[in-house]
Every structure is written in structure tokens, then in C-alpha cells.
Amino acid sequence: MSSERDFNETIMSLARKRGFIWGPSPEIYGGSSGFYDLGPLGKLLKNRLENQIRAAFVRANFWEVECPTVSPAEVWRASGHLEGFIDPVTECTKCGQIYRADNLILEKFPETNIAGQTADGLTETIRKIGLVCPSCKGELGPVKAYNLMMQTRLGLNQEAYLRPETATTTYLLFKRFLTFFRDKLPAAVFQIGKAYRNEISPRQGMLRLREFTQTEGQIFLLEKDEMEWPQFEDIKNEKLPLVTYQAQEKGNFKPVMTKTSDAIKQGFFQKPAYAWCVYLGYDIFRKMGFSENKMRLRQHLPTERAHYAADAWDIEIHTESFGWVECCGVHDRGDYDLSRHQEFSKEKLHVKVDKKPVIPNVLEIAFGIERPLFCLLDNSYRPESDERDTEWLQFPPELAPIQVAVFPLMGKDELVSPATQIFNDIMEAGFVSQFDVGGSIGKRYRRQDEVGTPFCVTIDYTTLEDGTVTIRDRDSMEQVRVHKDHLVESLRRLVKGLVQFSSLE
């Protein structure tokens, strides 16, 4: 709706103005859609999200790796992306309209069997069934395969592609993982890195990018592990906001808080290990600052589910800008990837179970970081109100780009000098902090509100008498006095959420 559109523009305008998101990049050359720059505050925010993700995975016993973003064509032939990551398109020779060939055929002739057909096969099918352009009845041109991977080359002419997902590059290390993990499964690894998709026509700003940062966690495990997953015990009483496919078929998208153990009993999840992955994904999103009432877990309908997947759920975040946004997929990839890479590479990618070779299964938690980044901006945005005559961002303190701002009440030397000292102490303690003397004190508070800084420290004339400073709380706009010797510790506890501001007084 237009009000949602306006909301998105309001946020992007603030994000541009205050140095979160710039673009489309490269701006001074006019820009290409699907590419954005992160300004200083956007990069800080993204780092904070990544740090939460990293900490959550490490705590769950995943190990981080990093792989190249470019791989030769055979990798993508094996992974299925070279053949499967394509859109077959046909252009009307008369009016120039472009169609997805397979969709068009099935739409007009639902009985046609085109499964697995190549571009030439689809061209042949169109001729055979006499399909013409639906808008002008003109003749349709030959079907071309439009691959969504970005192509490049290595050296003079070795065909190569930028990765469309990090996961595949992780799987290529499987033999190395077996050694590293001393032949013990399950083994869990994750990767945070860039991936590339040459979208035909990206829209919706930060939500559909041609270059983006992915986080993908992988668990390599055996079938018996999937059913007997000890860590499930830890989360069996945790609740998840589930929207099952049965509910969706009845038109009901309201999430139902369901205990994970009940979800297994009711058959919403087939495998405890998978359910645990869904919970881990959900927990990571909570740690990225999303409140529970803005999240839901939506099960894929059987029709949208990959044929090998027994379970398929997405984490969705509600935004004012675009409604529910799909942010994370939890996938049961089975042994598909390792089998394919074993076949194509001729390397043994199996383990021995009862002296027989078995290719392990893979469970995956996959999401892009720019989407939650945008969603967090969206969810944190507060418009101006009676209490506050500027818009502001209510980030959770731990995720705010700038955590503490330091002001001398006025730009007088006797205040600036002790304020500088306190600012240095705060920086020394590891906070991202900003010192500001410009403008009235009220204006400086508003500036920080606008970028979501949770706490401001002000040095005033009382500081000179008794060594106390004020800490001003973004959310309530209230202040408490704290002795400067205890300031860093107080800020640490406030930022970490160990103590509420209201209980400081």
C-alpha cells in the first residue's frame, strides 16, 4: 500500500541522511539497482548483527570457516546451479514481451510434461503445442536460459562463477572437516560471507540485492542423529510462533505459540535435530533484536517445498514497509549436495557406518544479513510524537551502532576538558562512543536519538563539584547521576541489559 511505501521511504531517507545506507551504488555514476553501500553507522549495525550471529553459532558449537567467492564452473555444475539456477525465458518476436517459458507453457497447457526439459526442448514444446504470445498473439522466439549466477573467468578463459550461496563452498571442504573433527559426526560449521545473484530486475531496495552477505550454518549428521538429538532436550519446552501449512491452507496466518516437543508430537517437525535448527534460527533472530511479536515461523506449503525436503520452514519478520518479509530458511538438504560433489569430484565424501560407506545428511540454517538489517531499522523506527519532536530509532542497546555519546553541557573549557577525559575512558573500555559539543544540549540529545544511541553522558558544573555525571536514557529521556568512577561499569551493565535504567535511581 502507499502508506507502507511512504514508511519505507521515510526509513530510507533517515538511513541515507544519517549514514546507514547509501545507494544504489555507485551513486556518483548513477547507480546500479541491487547494490548498496553501508555508511559508518550501517556498517557498525551490520557488525553488531554479525557478532550476535557469530556468538550464537559458536555457543551452539558451530565452527566458522571462510571460502572464496569465486569457483570454477564444475563446482556449480555439480551443485546443480548451472542447470537449475536458471530462468528459461522467451521473447515475443512481435511485441517484445518477455515470459518465463516454463510458467507460460504450464499456464496455458497444464497437462504438458516439461519436467527437466532444456531450453531447446522448451522451444520445441512451444512450437508443438502452438503457443503464441498471450498479449499480442505473435510468434514466440527461441527459449534462452537466463542463469542467475554472475559469470567471470579465471586466467585467460577458465569459466567461473561468483557463488550464489555460501553453502556450496562450505560443502567442498567436507573431507577437511572430517579430519578436523577427527571423523566424528555430527559436525557443525558456519560461514558469513558475500554471495551474488544476477537478479533480472531487483526491487524493494535492500530486500533484493545482487550482492549480499549470507550466513549459512551447516550440520553434517547421520540419519540416526536426526532422530536422536541430545540438544533437543535443552529446548523441548521452548515455544515457537508456528504457522503450519495446514493453517495456511485454511487461510490462517496467525502464529500459534507451540512448545517444540508438542510440535514434534503433532508432526509439524519430523526430526528433533531439524526442530532444534529451527529453534536456533529463531533464537539468533531474537538475539539480533527482533521482538517475538514481529516474528513468525512459516512452514512451506507442500507445493513450494523441494521434493527431497521433509521439513521446510522460514523465519519471517513483520515490517511496516513491506509486511511479512522472508528472512531465513531452515533446510533439510539430505545427502544431495555431498552425493553430487562426490560424483563430480570423484573424491570420497562419505563416512563409515557399520563398515559401510554412508554419505551424511545436511541440515542448514540460511539467511542474508541485509534483510534483518533493514527489518531492524524498520522495526526500530519511531515517528515524532508529542513527547519528542523528531523521529528516532529504538535499537536494543547492545545492537545500537553508537552505544554512548558524551557531551560537555556547554562548550566551555572547564567542562570540555573533563568531558574529553571521560570520553577517552569510555572509548578505552571498548564502547563505540561519540563526543559532541555542537549546539544546545537538547539538540545533541535529539541527534543521538535519531541514530538510536541508547545512552548519553553529560558533564556539567555539578561534575566539577562532586565528580558525578548524568546518564540520559534514550527511551524515557530521563537522567540519573552517577559518579564518574562507576560510570563505565554502569554503562556496561546498561548496554548489556543487566540492569534497567529505571532501577538505577
Write down the least CB distance from residue 467 to RNA, Å. Answer: 13
Query: What's at 416, amino acid-wise?
Result: V
Instruction: Give the residue with the Cβ less far from RNA, 283 or 391.
Output: 391
Write down the least CB distance from residue 10 to RNA, Å. Answer: 9
DSSP-assigned states of every residue in 387-399: S-SS-EE---GGG
CA 434 to chain centroid, in Å, comes to: 28
Write down the least CB distance from residue 410 to RNA, Å. Answer: 4
CA 31 to chain centroid, in Å, comes to: 23
Write down the least CB distance from residue 124 to RNA, Å. Answer: 20
Structural element, H or E, at residue 480: strand 479-483
Q: Is residue 358 involved in binding RNA (CB under 7 A)?
A: no
Among 190, 274, 435, 445, which residue sits at the site for RNA (rule: CB under 7 A)? 445
Which residues in the 298-317 window bind RNA by CB under 7 A? Answer: none
Among 3, 157, 201, 293, which residue sits at the site for RNA (rule: CB under 7 A)? 201
Instruction: Give the residue with the Cβ less far from RNA, 297 or 366.
Output: 366
Pairing of strands 295-299, 312-319: antiparallel
Q: Is residue 120 involved in binding RNA (CB under 7 A)?
A: no
Per CB under 7 A, which region of 9-17, 67-75, 229-237, 286-294 contacts RNA?
A: 9-17
What does the angle CA 410 – CA 416 – CA 417 come to, to the nearest 5 degrees? Answer: 155
206 grid coordinates: 535492500
Instruction: Give the residue with the Cβ less far from RNA, 237 or 476.
Output: 476
The runs of H, that is alpha helices, within 288-386 are 336-345, 370-380
DSSP conformation class of 139: B
Q: Is residue 9 involved in binding RNA (CB under 7 A)?
A: yes
Write down the least CB distance from residue 59 to RNA, Å. Answer: 26
Report CA-CA distances (Å) from 18 to 30, 389, 401, 452. 21, 17, 11, 11
Size of residue set near RNA by CB under 7 A: 59
Write down the least CB distance from residue 487 to RNA, Å. Answer: 13
Among 96, 121, 430, 497, which residue sits at the site for RNA (rule: CB under 7 A)? 96
Write down the least CB distance from residue 48 to RNA, Å. Answer: 23
Q: Is residue 160 involved in binding RNA (CB under 7 A)?
A: no
CA 35, CA 312: separation in Å to the nearest integer? Answer: 29
Write down the least CB distance from residue 35 to RNA, Å. Answer: 9
CA 402, CA 39: separation in Å to the nearest integer? Answer: 13
Per CB under 7 A, which region of 41-49, 248-256, 369-377, 385-393 contacts RNA?
A: 385-393
Is there a contact between 315 and 292 (Cβ–Cβ < 8 Å)? Answer: no
CA 494, CA 505: separation in Å to the nearest integer? Answer: 13
- Three-state DSSP at 39 gives coil
x/- letters, 180..199, toward RNA (CB under 7 A): -----------------x-x
487 grid coordinates: 560510570
Pairing of strands 455-459, 323-334: unpaired
Write down the least CB distance from residue 449 to RNA, Å. Answer: 7
Which residues in the 27-86 window bind RNA by CB under 7 A? Answer: 30-33, 84-85
CA 248, CA 19: separation in Å to the nearest integer? Answer: 40
Among 73, 119, 132, 148, which residue sits at the site for RNA (rule: CB under 7 A)? 148
Which residues in the 387-406 window bind RNA by CB under 7 A? Answer: 389-391
Q: Is residue 443 involved in binding RNA (CB under 7 A)?
A: yes
Instruction: Give the residue with the Cβ less far from RNA, 218 or 258.
Output: 218
Q: Is residue 320 involved in binding RNA (CB under 7 A)?
A: no
Query: What's at 287, amino acid-wise?
Result: K
Task: Go through 220-233 and write b for each residue having 16 or more CB atoms within 10 A of its CB, e for each that does not.
Answer: bbbeebbeebeebe
What does the angle CA 256 – CA 257 – CA 259 come to, to the nearest 5 degrees? Answer: 125
Interface positions with RNA (CB under 7 A):
5, 9, 13, 16-17, 24, 30-33, 84-85, 87, 96-100, 103, 148, 164-165, 197, 199-205, 208, 384, 389-391, 409-412, 438-443, 445-447, 450, 458-461, 469-470, 472, 477-479
